[in-house]
């Protein structure tokens, strides 16, 4: 079975303090859903092409379906409600390859 991934890029973070509650709740939701943070959240980024150097996060789940279910969970919806107004990110759920 192919794994599932959350991949998100934050083009700019103008209010890092405003993300603290979201980050805490999202971390709890991901862990509860069996997700594992592979990269990001303070990790180094070597930007190329588009040059986005802000936070990049990669989270792995045992399956694509598990990744989708984690996003749709009540726990993650609670985290999403805490994102600051005007916040922007590029978020994708991706199916891995067997």
CATH code of the domain covering residue 31: 3.30.70.100
What's the rounded Cα separation, in Å, for the pair 30 and 85? Answer: 22
Question: What token pair was written down for 79?
Answer: 């985290």
CA atoms within 13 A on the CB side of 80: 11
Give the per-residue pLDDT at 84. 83
Number of domains in the chain: 1
Of 17, 18, 9, the closest CA to residue 85 belongs to: 18
pLDDT digits (tens, 9 = 90+) for 8-30: 988 877 778 888 899 999 999 99
pLDDT digits (tens, 9 = 90+) for 34-78: 999 998 877 777 888 877 777 789 999 999 999 999 999 999 999
- State the sign of the Cα–Cα–Cα–Cα dihedral 66, 71, 72, 73: positive
- Give the global pTM: 0.87
Q: Supply the range of the domain harboring residue 51.
A: 4-95
**Are 4 and 65 spatial neighbours (Cβ–Cβ below 8 Å)?**
yes
């Amino acid at each position: 079975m192919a794994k599932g991934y959350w991949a998100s890029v934050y083009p700019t973070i103008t209010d890092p303090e405003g993300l603290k509650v979201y980050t805490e709740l999202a971390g709890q939701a991901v862990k509860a859903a069996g997700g594992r943070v592979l990269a990001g959240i303070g990790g180094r980024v070597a930007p190329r092409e588009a040059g986005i150097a802000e936070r990049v996060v990669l989270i792995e789940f045992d399956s694509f379906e598990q990744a989708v279910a984690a996003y749709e969970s009540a726990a993650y919806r609670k985290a999403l409600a805490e994102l600051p107004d005007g916040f922007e990110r590029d978020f994708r759920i991706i199916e891995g390859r067997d």
